[in-house]
Amino acid sequence: MSTHTAADKDSAAPANNKTISLPISRVRLIMKSSPDVSSINQDALFLTTKATELFVQYLAVSSFNNGSGKESNSLSYSDLASAAEETDTFHFLTDILPKKILAGDYLKTLEQMQDEEADN
């Protein structure tokens, strides 16, 4: 595995390469599974695929830079969840990555909800 790519990249900035690494056919399948989407121009597909790559890079980098793992050089689930809450453009992710809560807290909340319903 070549390591030269790590050296010539600024670790804070996403890589700027002119190729597409994600599988385009899979991106097309995902796009078509969106409701109402009928046909997609091939070039539009390329653009979407590359945009998705950039998104992954930005998500990873900003989660890491603002996260708690920076000192220990690690990236955790909660770093990503925080980035989703704090960055406007990542708000759409909050539906699929709720901040993890402890089971005990969840059960407490559940009990409270049940109590409220019983009172009504």
Residue closer to another protein (CB basis): 40 or 113: 40
Q: In sequence order, which residues have a C-beta less than 8 Å from that of residue 87 and are 6 or more positions away? A: 62
* Residue where the block lists tokens 């091939």: 42
Binding site residues, another protein, CB under 8 A: 5-6, 9, 11, 14-16, 18-23, 26-27, 29-31, 33-41, 43-44, 46-48, 50-57, 59-61, 64, 69, 72-77, 79-81, 88-89, 92-93, 95-97
Q: In sequence order, which residues have a C-beta less than 8 Å from that of residue 52 and are 6 or more positions away? A: 22, 27
Of the chain, the end-to-end C-alpha distance in Å amounts to 64
Provide, rounded to whole angstroms, the least separation between the CB of residue 115 and another protein: 32
Residue closer to another protein (CB basis): 96 or 118: 96
